[in-house]
């Protein structure tokens, strides 16, 4: 997924890469790896079956029920 701005909601998919300029991201029930490159906006990830890698410029990050490794590079925010 490549998005300049606006909300992204994805669920029940396999390996996923999201490149987003701004806006919120919600990723649920991913049966594989999840990689997010986000300029700004909140990130919520739930029920991810493999590794998560997040590069975030600003905004909140909320991850739950991850079964793999989690790597976060956070610019700022909560």
Per-residue pLDDT of the chain (78 residues; tens, 9 = 90+): 988 888 999 999 999 999 999 899 999 999 999 999 999 999 999 999 999 999 999 889 999 999 999 999 988 755
Per-residue tokens: 57: 């410029």
* Total-model pTM: 0.91
* Amino acid 12: pLDDT: 97
Spatial separation of the C-alpha atoms in residues 43 and 54, rounded to whole Å: 9
């Amino acid at each position: 997924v490549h998005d300049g701005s606006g909300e992204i909601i994805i669920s029940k998919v396999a390996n996923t890469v999201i490149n987003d300029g701004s806006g919120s991201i919600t990723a649920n029930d991913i049966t594989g790896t999840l990689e997010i490159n986000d300029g700004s906006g909140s990130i919520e990830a739930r029920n991810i079956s493999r590794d998560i890698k997040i590069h975030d410029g600003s905004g909140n990050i909320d991850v739950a029920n991850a079964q793999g490794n989690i790597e976060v590079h956070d610019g700022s925010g909560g």
